[in-house]
Structure 1
């Protein structure tokens, strides 16, 4: 009888503990892939940015692998639908089934390009939509490496005038604790060596445009199947970039676009090669006076007024610096960094030289832009590429 009582108590205790475990089991299933689209739309292109949500919804049914697509929306043109910044998601099974939009969290009015908010939203995604792998899309205004100021120099974002410098954005990404398969910038002037070097530890690949991006943005209805793919990250990134070019070449009513896919773990080696070239050809830097830089702006500049003189084709700069003899080790390493590049410029916004186009830009210090020069010296690329050693 004593043994029976002990056995009975053991069974009861086991049942009790099991029940407690069930009641407190709040774990969220881990998806294979979660993509976050972070849209900062409280600005003059709010309507166009919002259209990307519908474009994603069109593309989700074409996804062939299961996953979670999350969107953070902070925009001024849809106060009825989204009165406050909102995080919502769609679940896809990879067989054509897509869940209805599900709101994950709403936020009080906030600066969506502050370091704190970016970190908090990314951590919320990690908590509510855990996954084996993550990717990230940023959509807003941008001006690349340039410092935030009161003019149109935004670096990244425009949330009712608020912006974030690229080094601060890089810190926020690091603080989130997430490493991304890729980061796509649906924003202007982001394919620059200065930007890529700052973000080299945040993702395996960067998908960016060296020049302006049309306000229509990327064709998500075509690309979403690649955005959520958990297979070959490099090929998925290249497929995304190819769809971008195909759209602006064949479907959109304005034939303009530039794109590049950057492999981040190769960019440190590119900085080393560049530093060696800078030292070897230091004497040639005197050629880059105002007249030469103006020539570069006209022929290889990616930025238009008031952002002209902020970024030029990187390969064109190295060609000029080396008297037309681009070292083979530079060419080889540039090819390892920029694994895909293309453009369409039937309707020219800037001049693209097909013989030199590298898909990535760079800054050349200019005596007429003292504030830009001062900020350029704070970027990691400045010292990594040897600019500090040549005194510019």
Structure 2
């Protein structure tokens, strides 16, 4: 059988076309599967990436929410902590305040009230660089030293702040208490330093007070310039012995056994090596020039009353915050005045003496005493600040004004006196248990903030005043 060339040629063309067609389909199929798998893989990868991304986003969102919650809590506590707290003044040094309350017979209940009031002041203000220690004699032979411990918590708002009392030491004394001696007081001060050592110390002394007058027996031997050549024996009442009237506050108790000399206190502070930033006497008649001069090396400032102070004593719930940290002497005097102006017995005097100025004051007073002699006929015109007869304590500024006849020298003294007693306040009247009662008061006409006994002719002062450091420095 012969096949024509034309037929072969057609077959070749056909096979060629079939091959090309088949090849095209194959390519199309391959391309289809390639694109299908590519899209599915990309979709799968994309979905996986989306899932991973979602998971990451959820994790990131979770972390962001956690951070926000933590930040919210921190800010909340910060707001809570700051909301009711006044900013404390910046303290550069630690401070220890020591409340010293030796046995004082009939003032124990008043002391407990004073301690409670100081606790209120601490609760209101708080403690940062300060410590407050208290020595309290519950009887003539038993005493306790304790510390006010201040704590705060942000977790229990109703108990955020509280003050507790931590007993540090118990004391037992003999029938002649050591706390009336130099060694005994020094030992107590050293205990305070061992428990709460600090660069700055403040001391608050609560008891009865009788200014600079020395401890003596009830029966006195009297010898005055008007009784030359004879001696008499006289028994008289001290101010705290009048029991039928409102009570006031001897440095120590009401009997000589529990009383302390001012020089004893000064020597004890020196022996303990604890010069005070201030001494606050919560006692009667302690703002005297004689007391301040005797203590000028023991303390920087002396805070006290020129007159008798009511049994309530210092209003620690008001002035306590001013005794802590950066001491606010103006705040102390203003707080005292504010309290006693509205008290049921509205009588009170207070002053702050800057002890570093006392030597300059003594120098000027010495010049005055060398040139002038006081005219005793003017004694009745002087501003008295007690209830005794004869008077023991006179206003220092008024006495100087009636002693010195040189206006320039008097002006020099007055300016120095102002520097020595920079802060002072008084009510219109002062009260004394020794004045006729009722009302037991006298009006204050002039007030320099400190008393002097130089012109006194009282039996207890007439000779003993010449033995004071002040008298020796100015005569």
Common topology (TM > 0.5): yes
- Give the superposition deviation at 1:324: 8.5
Question: Equivalences for 1:120-269 in 2 at 5 Å?
Answer: 120-151=187-218, 152=238, 156-158=251-253, 161-229=257-325, 231=326, 233=327, 236-250=328-342, 252-269=343-360
Contact persistence 1:32–1:131 (CA under 8 A): yes
- Give the superposition deviation at 1:340: 0.5
TM, length-normalised to structure 1: 0.79
Aligned to 1:339: 422
CA 1:322 to 1:35, structure 2 compared with 1: closer, same or farther past 3 Å?
Answer: same
Gaps of 5+ in 1: 1-30, 387-392
Contact persistence 1:263–1:337 (CA under 8 A): yes
Aligned to 1:103: 167
- Give the superposition deviation at 1:41: 3.6
Aligned length: 336
Contact persistence 1:170–1:198 (CA under 8 A): yes
1:378 equivalenced with 2:458 (yes/no)? no
CA 1:163 to 1:225, structure 2 compared with 1: closer, same or farther past 3 Å?
Answer: same
- Give the superposition deviation at 1:347: 6.6
Over aligned residues, Cα RMSD in angstroms?
Answer: 2.6
From 38, 47, 71, the counterpart of 2:134: 71
- Give the superposition deviation at 1:42: 3.7
CA 1:172 to 1:335, structure 2 compared with 1: closer, same or farther past 3 Å?
Answer: same
Q: Secondary structure of 2:424's match?
A: strand
Q: Rg larger in 1 or in 2?
A: 2
Report the Cα distance in structure 2 between the residues aligned to 1:94 and 1:276, rounded to whole angstroms.
57
Q: Secondary structure of 2:191's match?
A: helix
Aligned to 2:106: 44
CA 1:70 to 1:368, structure 2 compared with 1: closer, same or farther past 3 Å?
Answer: closer
- 1:297-334 deviations in whole A, cap 9, x for unaligned? xx51222237x521100011111112494721101100
CA 1:146 to 1:159, structure 2 compared with 1: closer, same or farther past 3 Å?
Answer: closer
1:304 equivalenced with 2:396 (yes/no)? no
Report the Cα distance in structure 1 between the residues aligned to 2:254 and 2:393, rounded to whole angstroms.
24
Report the Cα distance in structure 1 between the residues aligned to 2:321 and 2:457, rounded to whole angstroms.
47
Contact persistence 2:429–2:442 (CA under 8 A): no
Report the Cα distance in structure 2 between the residues aligned to 1:196 and 1:347, rounded to whole angstroms.
21
Contact persistence 2:361–2:413 (CA under 8 A): yes
Contact persistence 2:303–2:350 (CA under 8 A): yes
Report the Cα distance in structure 2 between the residues aligned to 1:367 and 1:301, rounded to whole angstroms.
13
Q: Secondary structure of 1:372's match?
A: coil
Contact persistence 2:337–2:427 (CA under 8 A): yes
Aligned to 2:143: 85
Q: Secondary structure of 2:214's match?
A: coil
Contact persistence 1:43–1:75 (CA under 8 A): no
CA 1:301 to 1:347, structure 2 compared with 1: closer, same or farther past 3 Å?
Answer: closer
From 105, 118, 135, the counterpart of 1:56: 118
TM, length-normalised to structure 2: 0.66
CA 1:324 to 1:153, structure 2 compared with 1: closer, same or farther past 3 Å?
Answer: farther
Report the Cα distance in structure 2 between the residues aligned to 1:119 and 1:64, rounded to whole angstroms.
29
Q: Which has the higher helix share?
A: 2
Q: Secondary structure of 2:318's match?
A: helix
- Give the superposition deviation at 1:376: 1.5
Which has the larger displacement, 139-148 or 220-229?
Answer: 220-229
Contact persistence 1:270–1:333 (CA under 8 A): yes
Contact persistence 1:182–1:204 (CA under 8 A): yes
- 1:80-121 deviations in whole A, cap 9, x for unaligned? xxx920000013369974442100000113523222221111
Report the Cα distance in structure 2 between the residues aligned to 1:365 and 1:156, rounded to whole angstroms.
23
Q: Secondary structure of 1:117's match?
A: helix
Report the Cα distance in structure 2 between the residues aligned to 1:136 and 1:176, rounded to whole angstroms.
13
Report the Cα distance in structure 2 between the residues aligned to 1:162 and 1:106, rounded to whole angstroms.
19
